[in-house]
Structures are given as C-alpha cells and as structure tokens.
Amino acid sequence: MPAESPLTLDLTADSVAITQVICDVPSVSGDESLLADLVEQTLAGASHLEVIRDGDTIVARTNLGRERRVVIAGHLDTVPINENLPTRFETEDGVEYLWGRGTVDMKAGVAVQLKLALELTDPIVDLTWMWYDNEEVASSLNGLGRLSRNRPDLFVGDFAILGEPSNGQVEGGCNGTLRAEVWTTGLRAHSARSWVGENAIHKLAPALAKLAEYQAETVEVDGLAYREGLNAVLVSGGIAGNVIPDEAVLTVNYRFAPSRSVAEASAFVTEFFDGFEVAIVDSAEGARPGLDDPLAQQFVRAVGAEARPKYGWTDVARFSALGIPAVNFGPGDPLKAHADDERVDIAQIVHTEVALRAWLTGTSA
C-alpha cells in the first residue's frame, strides 16, 4: 500500500466538485502516482469493490454474480500543464464551464466514474472500473496495455465504455492510425554548383502534390460513417544553407476506417507512394463500433442519442481486439482536448453521470 496521501477525495460530493479536485492534482503522463494513490485510498474501504493496483493503474470491480459484465475505463494522466491550473469556473454565453488542464481529457469522465463506482452497490451488471496511467504518451507505456499483459483476467467483459470526451454523446469504435516515412535520396553538392548534385528535397514534390490532390474516403462501418485522412505531418532534410541535400523524409499519417486492417492500410500507403522508398514506422488497429450487441443498443437508448463515429484513435481498440464491443462516452468537447483553454461544460458532466447511473441501475434517466 502507498503511504497515506495528505489529500482527500470526497466521492459523496457532486461530480463537478470531484472533477475540480482531481484536476487540481497534477498528473502529467509519467507522474500519476499521487492521483493513483488518492483513488486507491478512497476506494479501499468500499466493501462491494475488489481494488487492485498495477503500477499507477487502479482497478475496482464488483463480484455480484451478474449474468453480464461491463468494463468502464478512463485515464488518469494529462498532457503537460501550460499555465492552466488551478482550475476555475467561468461563464460564456450563459454556459458554465470548468476551465483547466484535464477538465476535458479526461478527468471529468473519471470523476463521474469514481462517484458511480462508490455509490452503485447493486448495479444490474457486474462492473470493472479501470483508471490507468500513460495514455497520452507512447503506446508501449500505456497502463491499459500493461494491465492487459499482466492481468488479462481483468479484461473479461461483454461491453466496454471508455470515458474519452465525446460531448456527452456515444461515439462508436474508432479509426485506425498509421505513420509512414517516405524517403528520397540524391547527391550532395555545393549549392553554387547545384547542377552537379541531385536535390532530395525537390524529389519529394511529386509525393506532396499527390497528397494535396487526394480526396480521403468516408467509409460506412456498421451503420456509422468514418471519415478517413491521409496527410503530410512532418518533412525533414537538409545539411547546411549552402549544400544540396542528399536525403529527405516525408512523414505521413493515415487515419483509416475500422473496416480496414493495419496490413490493408499499410499496403494502401505503400501503393499510393509507388516509386518511393516507404517505411511503416507506427500503427494501431481501429475498432468497429460493435453497436449490434444488445448491451450496446441498450446503452445508446439510455443515453438518448444517435451514435456517432470516433475519428481519432482511442483505447476502445484494445477492447475491440479482445472481442469486446466498446464505445467512447464522456463529457467534454474533443476539440478542447489538449488546448491551453481546455474547459468542460459542467452540464455535460451532470448529463454523463445521470445517463450512466440510469443505465447501470435499470432506471429511467
């Protein structure tokens, strides 16, 4: 057990107040221990929960013998702080917001989950709550990935909800993502005598022109329309201000519909840049929405909204890879995630709590 933290977390408070408390505990990726300690200590005395810790990932689960089990997860970490803590309340155009790092991505969702984890002692399904570290950094460090390797038994479930910001709506599945490097080579020469060299940067021009002209597809998957994207995100090359470069690299990001596999996406990108040297340097499978599952359909009805596609990659893909249908559902506008003016509409926090509580207890919202 960790040493007792001098901080306290009152989960009997309303979910907006809980959001403010946990946002004011800094937890930039790699520095989640203090918040993880606080979560573990707060839930340790709950008789209806089995509390498990793996690094700075905390799991709390019921074992009520229900017919079905739902996994609900959220990450504890944030991107770096940029003069946007402590949190504060502000009102704009009649809408009240909680402003500050982590309010959107995704401590408001975590606050709702923590409150419900403590209060729901008799849900209609068994629940596994997961709060994990290192989501905002390299996939190899991701706490959910580590937990799946260390304790695969904890990932048994029939349906999963990830509390990523979705404006309080249901976003099914997610696009896959792939990064590729497109290489060109040339011949160094003095720039005053460029005609005796070959400019590797200039050789990227056809690849950039092709990208600029490309119209990305919109692909329907299980009734949801996923918009793809193929874009240059980085260009590197050059030796000095008076040297013709002999090497250049164009980095491309492909966001592909979850109906495609990484292998298919890789083949598409390689063929798209035919004639160039192409290296796939990073990739992650997408996740189909899984909205044909009865639990998923019940959940969408309980929330009272039409399901939408998730364009960005999220950890729902980890559940999908295990055969568990998964959706994103949390308060906050995704466009404000990571922004310096990150802020969450407090009405969305309340809506998320009410909708989740109603579904998990079988009552009307």
105 is annotated as an active-site residue: no
Whole-number Å distance between alpha carbons of 358 and 352:
10
- The token pair at 78 is 């944030």
Write down the residue that tokens 């998923």 correspond to.
Answer: 296
Separation of alpha carbons 336 and 297, rounded Å: 28
Residue from 32, 56, 77, 164 carrying the catalytic annotation: 77
Tell me the DSSP string of 271-325: HHTTTSEEEEEEEE--B---TTSHHHHHHHHHHTS--EE--S--THHHHHHTT--
* 334 exposure class (CB count in 10 Å sphere: 0-12, 13-18, 19+): buried
- Burial annotation 89-124 (CB, 10 A radius, 16+ → b, else e): eeeeeeeebbbbbbbbbbbbbbbbbbbbbbebeebb
- Taking the C-alpha atoms of residue 187 and residue 176, their distance in angstroms, rounded to an integer, is 37
- Cis peptide leading into residue 86 (ω within 30°): yes
Residue 342 is given by DSSP the state: -
Q: Is 345 a catalytic residue?
A: no
**Residues 6 or more apart whose Cβ sits within 8 Å of residue 306:** 300
**Bridge partners for 73 per DSSP:** 130, 162
Length of the chain: 365
Indicate which residue of 40, 54, 56, 135 is catalytic.
Answer: 135
- Which parts of 27-155 fold into alpha helices (H)? 33-43, 108-119, 143-150
Alpha-carbon gap, residue 253 to 258, rounded angstroms: 15
Active site residues: 77, 135
